[in-house]
Amino acid sequence: MRERTKEIGTLKALGFSNWNVMQQFMYEGLYIGLIGGAIGLGIAAVSASVFSTWLFNTGETLGTSVSTAVTMEAMLLGLGVAAIAGAVGSLYPAWRASRVSPMEALRNE
């Protein structure tokens, strides 16, 4: 938030309400969480595939098989958790950003 003080001051000087500024920061946190979750899901799917074939091939010699699968429910849960974590993690910075005085923000930058 400190790096964006001038931007926050400009928004407030243009007439954005505290709620509008807070919403902007929360949406950014949500989007960052979703992007991070999507990247994490991609890495998890590739890792599950690699480890399934690389590590669990020993089960065939023992007469058992172990498989890993990334289900749609697990993917949606992962994205949901990442989005919620991003939104919740941005609550305090969003609240602080909404409380910045436009005059103080523009003067300090």
Query: How confident is the model over 50-84, as pLDDT tens digits?
Result: 777 776 665 566 666 666 677 889 889 999 999 99
Query: Using N-to-C axis directions, what is the helix angle for 72-89 and 91-98, rounded to 10°?
Result: 30
- The H-or-E segment that residue 74 falls in is helix 72-89
Cβ atoms of 93 and 1 within 8 Å: the answer is yes
Region 15-19 average pLDDT: 91
Nearest 5°: phi and psi at 29? -60, -40
The tokens for 8 are 């926050």
Q: For the whole model, what pTM was predicted?
A: 0.73
pLDDT at 5: 83
Q: Rounded to an integer, what distance in angstroms lies between the CA atom of residue 30 and that of residue 5?
A: 20
Q: Does 1 score more than 70 pLDDT?
A: no
